[in-house]
Structure 1
C-alpha cells in the first residue's frame, strides 16, 4: 500500500518525521507537514499520506510529552501538535491537545493576565467540541466558560454590563444543557445496543465473536464522547 503514495509526499513526510525526532516543533515544520499532505498525485495518495501523518503525530506526541523541561515548553509543544493534528484532519487529537493546554493554563496561570484562560477561549473550545460530537468535553468546557462570568465570580461587574452578562450566562447554560442531553442520549443508545447484542447472543442468533467485535467498536465510539 505504501506505493500508493507518491515519492514527493513520502519524502516530505519523512523530513517532517526527522524534524519531530529532533524535537523541532515550529512553524517551519508545520509548513513541511502541510506540503506533504498536499503533495499527493491523486485522492488515494492524499488519503494514504493523511493516515500516515496521523499515526506519526500520535506517536511523536506521546514521545514529546514523556519528557518536557518546563510548563512553557509543554504549552508550546501542545500548541504545535494541536495545529499539526488539525492539518492532518485528526479532530479528536487536536481537541485533546487544546483541552489539556487549557486545563494546564487554568491550573498554573490563573493569576497571569497573559496566560490565564479567558471566557472566550473556553467558549470557543466548547463550541468546537460540541460541533464535532464530543459532548462530554463540551459540557465541561461550557462549565469553565460560565465560571468566569458567574455573578459570584470576583470579576463580575455589578453595573449595566451585568444584564449583558446574565444574557450570556443563559446562552452558555443553554448550550451546556444541549451538550449534556446529547451526551446522555448517545450513552443511552450505546447501552441499549449492548443489551440487544447480549440478548441476541443468549437466544443463539448472534455469533459471540461477532458480538465481541461489535461491543468493542461500540465502546470505542462511546468513549469518544
Structure 2
C-alpha cells in the first residue's frame, strides 16, 4: 500500500522537476525510482505515460534553449538522452544522441574541446546497427571514417600505418554491414509489400471464383431438380395412361376364365343328365 501511495507522489514530483526545468541528477534519480515495480503491467503503463510526457516537454524545452550557451544546450541534451534511456525509449534516446554529436561536431571548429572522436562515432554506429537504424548507422560510419582520416593525417609522423589501416578496415566493414542491412531491410519491405499485394489479389480472385462457382453450382442444381421433376411427372403420366389398358386387359382375362368355367359346368351338367337318362332307360329294359 505504501508503494501505491508513493508512486503518484513521485510521478508528480518528477513532472514538477521537468516543468521547473531542473535537469540534474536528482531528477534522474526520481525517474529511476519510478520504474521499480513488482507489477509488470503497472511498470509498462508508467513507462508509456512518462514517454509521452518527456517527448512533449522536450519539444518545448528545445525551443526555449536556443539562446543558451553551447554547454548548457549539450547538458540539457545529455539529460534527455539519459532520461529516454531509463524509460526504454530507444528511438528518442538515439535521436537526441545523434543531435548532440552533430552539434558538437559543428561547434568543434571553434572549440576543440567539443571534438567528437572517431571512437565515439564508431560506438554510436554500432549501437544504431544493433537497434536496427541502419541508414543512420551508415552516416555515423562515414563520420567515423572522416574523423579518423583527419586524425591519420595529423598523426602521420607516427608511422603506425598498419594500425591505422586496421581501424579504417574495421570502420568500412561496419559500414558495409549497415548498408547491406539497410538494403536487405528495403528488399524485405518491398517483398513484404509485394506478397501482401499478391495475397490481396489472390483473395479477390478466389472470392470472385467462389462466387461464380457458387452461382454455376446453384444453376446446375436447380436445373437438375427441374429435370428430375420432369422425369417424375412423365413417369407418373405414363403410369396413369397405362392403368386403363391394364384394367381392360385384366377384365377381358377374367371374362374368358368365367366363360370357360361356365361352359365346363354346362358340359358337366349335360353329361350328368345324359347319364341319368341312360340309367333310367336301362332300368326300364331290365324290368320283367
TM-score, normalised on structure 1?
Answer: 0.82
Secondary structure class of the residue paired with 1:67: helix
Q: 1:151 Cα shift?
A: 6.7
Q: Is residue 47–residue 87 contact of structure 2 (8 Å, CA) maintained in 1?
A: yes
Instruction: Decide whether aligned partners of structure 1 residues 152 and 128 sit closer, same or farther in structure 2, where only a CA change above 3 A counts.
Output: closer
For residues 154 and 26 of structure 2, the distance between their equivalents in structure 1, rounded to whole angstroms, comes to: 39
Secondary structure class of the residue paired with 1:6: helix
Q: Counterpart of 2:10?
A: 12
Q: 1:158 Cα shift?
A: 4.1
Between Structure 1 and Structure 2, the one with more helix by share is 2
| 1:171 correspondence with 2:170 | yes
Secondary structure class of the residue paired with 2:156: coil
For residues 40 and 19 of structure 2, the distance between their equivalents in structure 1, rounded to whole angstroms, comes to: 28
Aligned structure 1 segments of 4 or more residues deviating by more than 6 angstroms: none
Q: Counterpart of 1:60?
A: 57
5+ residue gaps, structure 1, are: 207-225
Q: Counterpart of 1:222?
A: none
Secondary structure class of the residue paired with 1:117: coil
5+ residue gaps, structure 2, are: 206-288
For residues 155 and 29 of structure 1, the distance between their equivalents in structure 2, rounded to whole angstroms, comes to: 42
Q: Is residue 150–residue 156 contact of structure 1 (8 Å, CA) maintained in 2?
A: no
**Which residues in structure 2 correspond to 1:1-225 (within 5 Å)?**
6-38=4-36, 40-68=37-65, 69-70=67-68, 71-150=70-149, 154-205=153-204
Q: 1:199 Cα shift?
A: 3.4
Q: 1:155 Cα shift?
A: 2.5
Instruction: Decide whether aligned partners of structure 1 residues 7 and 198 sit closer, same or farther in structure 2, where only a CA change above 3 A counts.
Output: farther
Q: Larger relative CO (CA 8 A, sep 6+): 1 or 2?
A: 1
Q: Give the number of equivalent residue pairs.
A: 201
**Larger Rg computed on CA atoms:** 2
Q: Is residue 152–residue 164 contact of structure 2 (8 Å, CA) maintained in 1?
A: no
For residues 169 and 99 of structure 1, the distance between their equivalents in structure 2, rounded to whole angstroms, comes to: 22
Higher mean C-alpha displacement, 113-122 vs 5-14: 5-14
